[in-house]
Structure 1
Protein backbone atom coordinates (compact mmCIF):
# COMPACT_ATOMS: atom_id res chain seq x y z
CA UNK A 1 0.00 0.00 0.00
CA UNK A 2 1.30 3.45 -0.88
CA UNK A 3 2.18 5.91 1.88
CA UNK A 4 -0.42 8.45 0.76
CA UNK A 5 -3.07 5.72 1.10
CA UNK A 6 -1.95 5.06 4.68
CA UNK A 7 -2.32 8.75 5.49
CA UNK A 8 -6.02 8.55 4.71
CA UNK A 9 -6.74 5.69 7.09
CA UNK A 10 -9.52 6.40 9.56
CA UNK A 11 -9.24 4.07 12.55
CA UNK A 12 -11.25 3.02 15.56
CA UNK A 13 -8.99 2.55 18.59
CA UNK A 14 -9.99 -0.20 21.02
CA UNK A 15 -8.74 -0.64 24.59
CA UNK A 16 -9.77 -3.20 27.20
CA UNK A 17 -8.79 -4.06 30.75
CA UNK A 18 -10.05 -7.15 32.57
CA UNK A 19 -10.28 -5.89 36.15
CA UNK A 20 -11.21 -2.74 38.02
CA UNK A 21 -7.73 -2.78 39.57
CA UNK A 22 -6.19 -2.48 36.10
CA UNK A 23 -8.46 0.46 35.37
CA UNK A 24 -7.40 2.25 38.54
CA UNK A 25 -3.76 1.32 37.94
CA UNK A 26 -3.64 3.27 34.70
CA UNK A 27 -3.57 0.28 32.35
CA UNK A 28 -6.19 1.85 30.08
CA UNK A 29 -4.23 5.09 29.85
CA UNK A 30 -1.08 3.11 29.01
CA UNK A 31 -2.88 1.53 26.08
CA UNK A 32 -3.98 4.93 24.79
CA UNK A 33 -0.42 6.25 25.02
CA UNK A 34 0.98 3.22 23.20
CA UNK A 35 -1.44 3.62 20.32
CA UNK A 36 -0.78 7.36 19.99
CA UNK A 37 2.99 6.83 20.20
CA UNK A 38 2.86 4.13 17.51
CA UNK A 39 1.02 6.40 15.09
CA UNK A 40 3.43 9.26 15.70
CA UNK A 41 6.57 7.12 15.37
CA UNK A 42 5.39 5.38 12.21
CA UNK A 43 4.15 8.62 10.66
CA UNK A 44 0.82 7.15 9.76
CA UNK A 45 -0.89 10.52 10.11
CA UNK A 46 -4.17 8.65 10.27
CA UNK A 47 -7.14 9.89 12.20
CA UNK A 48 -8.47 8.10 15.26
CA UNK A 49 -12.15 8.50 14.51
CA UNK A 50 -13.28 7.23 17.90
CA UNK A 51 -11.98 5.46 20.99
CA UNK A 52 -13.88 2.43 22.29
CA UNK A 53 -13.09 1.13 25.78
CA UNK A 54 -14.31 -1.85 27.81
CA UNK A 55 -13.36 -1.50 31.47
CA UNK A 56 -13.17 -4.46 33.84
CA UNK A 57 -14.40 -6.92 31.20
CA UNK A 58 -12.90 -10.28 30.23
CA UNK A 59 -12.25 -11.07 26.57
CA UNK A 60 -14.68 -13.98 26.94
CA UNK A 61 -17.61 -11.98 28.29
CA UNK A 62 -19.93 -9.59 26.51
CA UNK A 63 -18.02 -6.48 25.51
CA UNK A 64 -20.48 -3.64 24.82
CA UNK A 65 -17.90 -1.16 23.51
CA UNK A 66 -16.37 -3.81 21.24
CA UNK A 67 -19.79 -4.76 19.85
CA UNK A 68 -20.63 -1.10 19.14
CA UNK A 69 -17.27 -0.62 17.45
CA UNK A 70 -17.67 -3.65 15.18
CA UNK A 71 -21.19 -2.61 14.21
CA UNK A 72 -20.06 0.89 13.29
CA UNK A 73 -16.95 -0.41 11.53
CA UNK A 74 -18.91 -2.74 9.25
CA UNK A 75 -21.32 0.11 8.51
CA UNK A 76 -18.37 2.05 7.09
CA UNK A 77 -17.56 4.26 10.06
CA UNK A 78 -13.81 3.65 9.75
CA UNK A 79 -11.18 1.91 7.65
CA UNK A 80 -9.90 -0.37 10.40
CA UNK A 81 -9.03 -1.04 14.04
CA UNK A 82 -5.93 -0.40 16.12
CA UNK A 83 -5.19 -2.05 19.49
CA UNK A 84 -2.01 -2.43 21.54
CA UNK A 85 -1.87 -6.26 21.49
CA UNK A 86 -3.87 -9.18 20.17
CA UNK A 87 -4.95 -10.24 23.66
CA UNK A 88 -6.82 -6.94 24.12
CA UNK A 89 -9.31 -7.90 21.43
CA UNK A 90 -9.36 -11.71 21.64
CA UNK A 91 -7.60 -14.57 23.40
CA UNK A 92 -8.44 -17.72 21.50
CA UNK A 93 -7.09 -18.59 18.07
CA UNK A 94 -10.63 -19.11 16.80
CA UNK A 95 -11.80 -15.75 18.12
CA UNK A 96 -8.91 -13.87 16.53
CA UNK A 97 -9.11 -15.80 13.28
CA UNK A 98 -12.82 -15.01 12.92
CA UNK A 99 -12.12 -11.33 13.55
CA UNK A 100 -9.32 -11.14 10.96
CA UNK A 101 -11.46 -13.00 8.41
CA UNK A 102 -14.34 -10.56 8.99
CA UNK A 103 -12.07 -7.55 8.58
CA UNK A 104 -10.44 -8.91 5.43
CA UNK A 105 -13.81 -9.67 3.80
CA UNK A 106 -14.81 -6.03 4.28
CA UNK A 107 -11.36 -4.69 3.34
CA UNK A 108 -10.82 -3.35 6.87
CA UNK A 109 -7.35 -3.00 8.36
CA UNK A 110 -6.02 -4.27 11.68
CA UNK A 111 -3.03 -2.97 13.64
CA UNK A 112 -1.56 -4.17 16.96
CA UNK A 113 0.80 -1.37 17.93
CA UNK A 114 3.14 -3.36 20.21
CA UNK A 115 3.41 -6.53 18.11
CA UNK A 116 4.37 -5.26 14.65
CA UNK A 117 1.05 -6.53 13.30
CA UNK A 118 -0.26 -4.34 10.53
CA UNK A 119 -2.58 -5.74 7.86
CA UNK A 120 -2.18 -2.61 5.76
CA UNK A 121 0.96 -4.33 4.43
CA UNK A 122 1.50 -7.73 2.83
CA UNK A 123 4.16 -8.56 5.43
CA UNK A 124 1.82 -7.61 8.26
CA UNK A 125 -0.96 -9.83 6.95
CA UNK A 126 1.47 -12.73 6.65
CA UNK A 127 2.79 -12.21 10.20
CA UNK A 128 -0.74 -12.11 11.61
CA UNK A 129 -1.64 -15.48 10.11
CA UNK A 130 1.71 -16.99 11.10
CA UNK A 131 1.24 -15.94 14.74
CA UNK A 132 -2.25 -17.42 14.86
CA UNK A 133 -1.09 -20.63 13.18
CA UNK A 134 1.86 -21.03 15.57
CA UNK A 135 -0.41 -20.45 18.57
CA UNK A 136 -2.82 -23.13 17.36
CA UNK A 137 0.09 -25.51 16.69
CA UNK A 138 1.37 -25.03 20.26
CA UNK A 139 -2.05 -25.89 21.69
CA UNK A 140 -2.35 -29.03 19.54
CA UNK A 141 1.25 -30.07 20.28
CA UNK A 142 0.68 -29.80 24.02
CA UNK A 143 -2.46 -31.93 23.74
CA UNK A 144 -0.63 -34.56 21.69
CA UNK A 145 2.35 -34.76 24.07
CA UNK A 146 0.03 -35.06 27.06
CA UNK A 147 -1.84 -37.92 25.40
CA UNK A 148 1.36 -39.73 24.37
CA UNK A 149 2.79 -39.37 27.87
CA UNK A 150 -0.29 -40.91 29.45
CA UNK A 151 -0.36 -43.79 26.95
CA UNK A 152 3.35 -44.55 27.45
CA UNK A 153 2.96 -44.54 31.22
CA UNK A 154 0.05 -46.97 31.06
CA UNK A 155 1.87 -49.23 28.55
CA UNK A 156 4.76 -49.50 31.01
CA UNK A 157 2.40 -50.81 33.66
CA UNK A 158 1.61 -47.60 35.44
CA UNK A 159 -1.81 -46.55 36.65
CA UNK A 160 -2.62 -43.07 35.44
CA UNK A 161 -3.76 -40.91 38.32
CA UNK A 162 -6.34 -41.75 40.90
CA UNK A 163 -9.76 -43.16 40.24
CA UNK A 164 -11.47 -40.86 37.81
CA UNK A 165 -13.88 -38.47 39.48
CA UNK A 166 -17.28 -38.47 37.88
CA UNK A 167 -18.88 -35.10 37.14
CA UNK A 168 -22.57 -35.03 36.33
CA UNK A 169 -23.87 -33.38 33.16
CA UNK A 170 -25.28 -30.30 34.89
CA UNK A 171 -22.02 -29.56 36.75
CA UNK A 172 -20.03 -30.18 33.57
CA UNK A 173 -22.11 -27.58 31.72
CA UNK A 174 -21.56 -25.09 34.55
CA UNK A 175 -17.79 -25.61 34.40
CA UNK A 176 -17.66 -25.12 30.64
CA UNK A 177 -19.84 -22.01 30.84
CA UNK A 178 -17.67 -20.50 33.58
CA UNK A 179 -14.47 -21.27 31.65
CA UNK A 180 -15.85 -19.69 28.46
CA UNK A 181 -16.79 -16.63 30.54
CA UNK A 182 -13.17 -16.16 31.57
CA UNK A 183 -12.74 -18.21 34.76
CA UNK A 184 -9.36 -19.90 35.12
CA UNK A 185 -8.77 -23.49 36.20
CA UNK A 186 -7.91 -22.40 39.76
CA UNK A 187 -11.32 -20.75 40.14
CA UNK A 188 -12.99 -23.79 38.59
CA UNK A 189 -11.16 -26.03 41.06
CA UNK A 190 -12.48 -23.93 43.96
CA UNK A 191 -15.95 -24.00 42.42
CA UNK A 192 -15.85 -27.81 42.34
CA UNK A 193 -14.76 -27.82 45.99
CA UNK A 194 -18.03 -26.08 46.90
CA UNK A 195 -19.77 -29.12 45.42
CA UNK A 196 -17.66 -31.55 47.44
CA UNK A 197 -15.30 -32.47 44.59
CA UNK A 198 -11.54 -32.15 45.10
CA UNK A 199 -9.81 -31.61 41.75
CA UNK A 200 -6.54 -29.81 41.08
CA UNK A 201 -6.36 -27.01 38.47
CA UNK A 202 -4.22 -29.16 36.08
CA UNK A 203 -6.79 -31.96 36.30
CA UNK A 204 -9.57 -29.47 35.58
CA UNK A 205 -7.59 -28.34 32.52
CA UNK A 206 -7.29 -31.93 31.27
CA UNK A 207 -11.03 -32.45 31.76
CA UNK A 208 -11.75 -29.38 29.63
CA UNK A 209 -9.49 -30.75 26.89
CA UNK A 210 -11.18 -34.15 27.18
CA UNK A 211 -14.60 -32.51 26.74
CA UNK A 212 -13.44 -30.77 23.57
CA UNK A 213 -13.51 -27.27 25.04
CA UNK A 214 -11.51 -24.73 23.04
CA UNK A 215 -8.50 -23.89 25.20
CA UNK A 216 -7.58 -20.23 25.48
CA UNK A 217 -4.24 -19.11 24.08
CA UNK A 218 -2.44 -16.19 25.70
CA UNK A 219 -0.44 -13.84 23.52
Structure 2
Protein backbone atom coordinates (compact mmCIF):
# COMPACT_ATOMS: atom_id res chain seq x y z
CA UNK A 1 0.00 0.00 0.00
CA UNK A 2 1.21 3.52 -0.78
CA UNK A 3 0.58 5.98 2.02
CA UNK A 4 1.20 9.67 1.39
CA UNK A 5 2.01 12.49 3.77
CA UNK A 6 1.81 16.23 3.09
CA UNK A 7 2.59 19.15 5.39
CA UNK A 8 2.66 22.93 5.30
CA UNK A 9 4.22 25.07 8.02
CA UNK A 10 1.67 27.89 8.04
CA UNK A 11 -2.06 28.17 7.47
CA UNK A 12 -1.32 30.68 4.65
CA UNK A 13 0.22 27.91 2.56
CA UNK A 14 -1.77 25.36 0.60
CA UNK A 15 -1.45 21.58 0.45
CA UNK A 16 -2.85 21.35 -3.10
CA UNK A 17 0.48 20.91 -4.92
CA UNK A 18 1.63 18.14 -2.59
CA UNK A 19 -1.72 16.33 -2.56
CA UNK A 20 -1.94 16.44 -6.38
CA UNK A 21 1.57 14.94 -6.63
CA UNK A 22 0.76 12.22 -4.06
CA UNK A 23 -2.46 11.32 -5.90
CA UNK A 24 -0.59 11.24 -9.23
CA UNK A 25 1.93 8.86 -7.63
CA UNK A 26 -0.91 6.48 -6.76
CA UNK A 27 -1.19 6.90 -2.99
CA UNK A 28 -4.03 4.88 -1.48
CA UNK A 29 -4.31 7.13 1.56
CA UNK A 30 -2.97 10.62 2.34
CA UNK A 31 -2.38 12.22 5.73
CA UNK A 32 -1.96 16.00 6.01
CA UNK A 33 -0.77 18.45 8.67
CA UNK A 34 -1.39 22.19 8.32
CA UNK A 35 0.40 24.90 10.26
CA UNK A 36 2.90 22.49 11.77
CA UNK A 37 6.67 22.94 11.61
CA UNK A 38 8.81 20.13 10.28
CA UNK A 39 11.13 20.75 13.21
CA UNK A 40 8.54 19.20 15.53
CA UNK A 41 8.98 15.46 15.85
CA UNK A 42 5.38 14.96 16.95
CA UNK A 43 2.67 16.06 14.54
CA UNK A 44 -0.92 14.73 14.80
CA UNK A 45 -1.39 13.40 11.26
CA UNK A 46 2.28 12.40 10.90
CA UNK A 47 1.93 10.24 13.99
CA UNK A 48 -1.25 8.63 12.57
CA UNK A 49 0.51 8.10 9.24
CA UNK A 50 3.46 6.31 10.85
CA UNK A 51 1.06 4.20 12.92
CA UNK A 52 -0.79 3.03 9.77
CA UNK A 53 2.35 1.78 8.01
CA UNK A 54 2.79 -1.97 7.66
CA UNK A 55 5.55 -4.19 6.28
CA UNK A 56 5.78 -3.81 2.50
CA UNK A 57 4.12 -0.36 2.45
CA UNK A 58 5.69 2.67 0.81
CA UNK A 59 5.59 6.06 2.52
CA UNK A 60 5.43 8.75 -0.16
CA UNK A 61 6.24 12.39 0.53
CA UNK A 62 6.45 15.31 -1.86
CA UNK A 63 9.83 16.49 -0.58
CA UNK A 64 12.17 15.28 2.15
CA UNK A 65 11.75 18.39 4.30
CA UNK A 66 8.03 17.52 4.68
CA UNK A 67 9.05 14.62 6.94
CA UNK A 68 11.46 16.63 9.11
CA UNK A 69 14.14 19.28 9.16
CA UNK A 70 16.91 17.85 11.32
CA UNK A 71 19.29 15.14 10.13
CA UNK A 72 18.90 13.34 13.43
CA UNK A 73 15.11 13.25 13.15
CA UNK A 74 15.14 12.17 9.50
CA UNK A 75 17.60 9.38 10.24
CA UNK A 76 15.41 8.25 13.15
CA UNK A 77 12.46 8.18 10.74
CA UNK A 78 14.56 6.21 8.25
CA UNK A 79 15.54 3.67 10.91
CA UNK A 80 11.93 3.38 12.09
CA UNK A 81 10.74 2.74 8.53
CA UNK A 82 13.51 0.20 7.93
CA UNK A 83 12.58 -1.59 11.18
CA UNK A 84 8.93 -1.76 10.06
CA UNK A 85 9.89 -2.96 6.57
CA UNK A 86 8.57 0.21 4.92
CA UNK A 87 10.22 2.00 1.99
CA UNK A 88 10.36 5.79 1.67
CA UNK A 89 9.84 7.62 -1.58
CA UNK A 90 10.35 11.39 -1.98
CA UNK A 91 8.85 12.63 -5.25
CA UNK A 92 10.76 15.92 -5.69
CA UNK A 93 14.07 14.63 -4.38
CA UNK A 94 13.76 11.40 -6.38
CA UNK A 95 14.67 9.32 -3.34
CA UNK A 96 13.68 5.69 -3.08
CA UNK A 97 15.12 3.87 -0.05
CA UNK A 98 14.56 0.45 -1.61
CA UNK A 99 18.06 0.82 -3.16
CA UNK A 100 21.50 1.36 -1.61
CA UNK A 101 21.94 4.60 -3.58
CA UNK A 102 18.50 5.72 -2.45
CA UNK A 103 19.46 5.22 1.20
CA UNK A 104 22.72 7.11 0.67
CA UNK A 105 20.96 9.95 -1.13
CA UNK A 106 18.33 10.09 1.64
CA UNK A 107 21.00 10.67 4.30
CA UNK A 108 22.73 13.28 2.13
CA UNK A 109 19.47 15.15 1.55
CA UNK A 110 18.64 14.95 5.27
CA UNK A 111 21.90 16.79 5.99
CA UNK A 112 21.09 19.41 3.35
CA UNK A 113 17.58 19.94 4.80
CA UNK A 114 19.09 20.54 8.24
CA UNK A 115 21.67 22.92 6.76
CA UNK A 116 18.90 24.87 5.02
CA UNK A 117 16.97 25.19 8.29
CA UNK A 118 20.09 26.37 10.14
CA UNK A 119 20.85 28.98 7.45
CA UNK A 120 17.28 30.34 7.68
CA UNK A 121 17.65 30.54 11.47
CA UNK A 122 21.00 32.37 11.21
CA UNK A 123 19.59 34.86 8.68
CA UNK A 124 16.60 35.56 10.89
CA UNK A 125 18.78 36.12 13.96
CA UNK A 126 21.13 38.41 11.98
CA UNK A 127 18.16 40.41 10.67
CA UNK A 128 16.73 40.84 14.18
CA UNK A 129 20.14 41.89 15.52
CA UNK A 130 20.55 44.46 12.72
CA UNK A 131 17.04 45.82 13.37
CA UNK A 132 17.76 46.14 17.12
CA UNK A 133 21.01 47.99 16.33
CA UNK A 134 18.88 50.53 14.42
CA UNK A 135 16.61 50.95 17.42
CA UNK A 136 13.75 48.74 16.28
CA UNK A 137 12.10 46.43 18.74
CA UNK A 138 10.66 43.10 17.68
CA UNK A 139 7.42 41.54 18.69
CA UNK A 140 3.82 42.55 18.52
CA UNK A 141 2.87 46.18 19.01
CA UNK A 142 1.09 46.90 22.27
CA UNK A 143 -2.66 46.99 21.92
CA UNK A 144 -3.35 48.36 25.39
CA UNK A 145 -2.81 52.07 25.95
CA UNK A 146 -1.31 53.49 29.12
CA UNK A 147 -4.70 55.06 29.84
CA UNK A 148 -6.46 51.69 29.65
CA UNK A 149 -3.84 50.18 31.92
CA UNK A 150 -4.18 52.93 34.55
CA UNK A 151 -7.99 52.82 34.41
CA UNK A 152 -8.06 49.03 34.84
CA UNK A 153 -5.73 49.26 37.84
CA UNK A 154 -7.77 52.10 39.38
CA UNK A 155 -11.05 50.21 39.02
CA UNK A 156 -9.48 47.00 40.37
CA UNK A 157 -8.11 48.79 43.43
CA UNK A 158 -11.49 50.40 44.09
CA UNK A 159 -13.01 46.91 44.26
CA UNK A 160 -16.50 48.16 43.36
CA UNK A 161 -16.93 46.34 40.02
CA UNK A 162 -16.68 42.72 38.96
CA UNK A 163 -13.77 41.88 36.65
CA UNK A 164 -16.11 41.33 33.68
CA UNK A 165 -17.50 44.88 34.02
CA UNK A 166 -14.02 46.39 34.34
CA UNK A 167 -12.95 44.60 31.15
CA UNK A 168 -16.03 45.86 29.27
CA UNK A 169 -15.63 49.42 30.48
CA UNK A 170 -11.91 49.63 29.77
CA UNK A 171 -12.10 47.61 26.51
CA UNK A 172 -9.68 44.84 27.35
CA UNK A 173 -9.86 41.05 27.58
CA UNK A 174 -9.95 39.15 30.85
CA UNK A 175 -6.45 37.75 30.17
CA UNK A 176 -5.13 41.29 29.61
CA UNK A 177 -6.79 42.41 32.85
CA UNK A 178 -4.98 39.72 34.84
CA UNK A 179 -1.69 40.52 33.15
CA UNK A 180 -2.03 44.23 33.97
CA UNK A 181 -3.35 43.94 37.50
CA UNK A 182 -1.11 41.12 38.68
Q: TM-score, normalised by structure 2?
A: 0.58
1:53 partner SS: strand
CA displacement at 1:130 relative to structure 2: 3.1
The change in CA–CA distance for 1:58 and 1:132 in structure 2 (over 3 A counts) is closer
Count of residue correspondences: 131
- Residue 48 of structure 1 deviates from its aligned partner by 2.3
Match of 1:68 in 2: 48
Deviation track 1:67-97 (CA, whole Å, cap 9, x = no partner) reads: 1111222xx2871210010111100111111
Residue 121 (structure 1) aligned with residue 99 (structure 2): yes
Runs of 4 or more consecutive aligned structure 1 residues displaced over 6 Å after TM superposition:
none
1:34 aligned to 2:27? no
Per chain length, whose mean CA-contact separation is higher, i.e. which structure has more relative contact order (CA < 8 Å, sep 6+)?
1
How far does residue 49 in structure 1 lie from its aligned partner after superposition? 3.0
Alignment of 1:163-174 (within 5 A): none
Q: Which runs of 5+ in 1 are unaligned?
A: 1-9, 40-46, 143-181, 200-219
Distance (Å, rounded) in 2 between the aligned partners of 1:52 and 1:78? 18
- Aligned pair partner of 1:132 in 110, 117, 133: 110
Contact 1:11 1:78 (8 Å CA) reproduced? no
DSSP-derived class of the 1:12 partner: strand
Q: 1:99 maps to which residue?
A: 77
Query: Is contact 1:11–1:49 with CA below 8 Å preserved after alignment?
Result: yes
Structure 2 segments unaligned to the other structure (5+ residues): 139-182
**Normalization by structure 1: what TM-score?**
0.49
**In structure 1, distance between residues paired with 2:108 and 2:18:** 24
Match of 2:12 in 1: 21
Aligned-partner Cα distance in 2 for 1:88–1:135: 10
Question: Which structure has the greater CA radius of gyration?
Answer: 2
Distance 1:78 1:11 in 2: 9
Asked whether the equivalents of residues 19 and 56 of structure 1 are also in contact (C-alpha less than 8 Å), the reply is yes
Q: Match of 2:34? A: 55
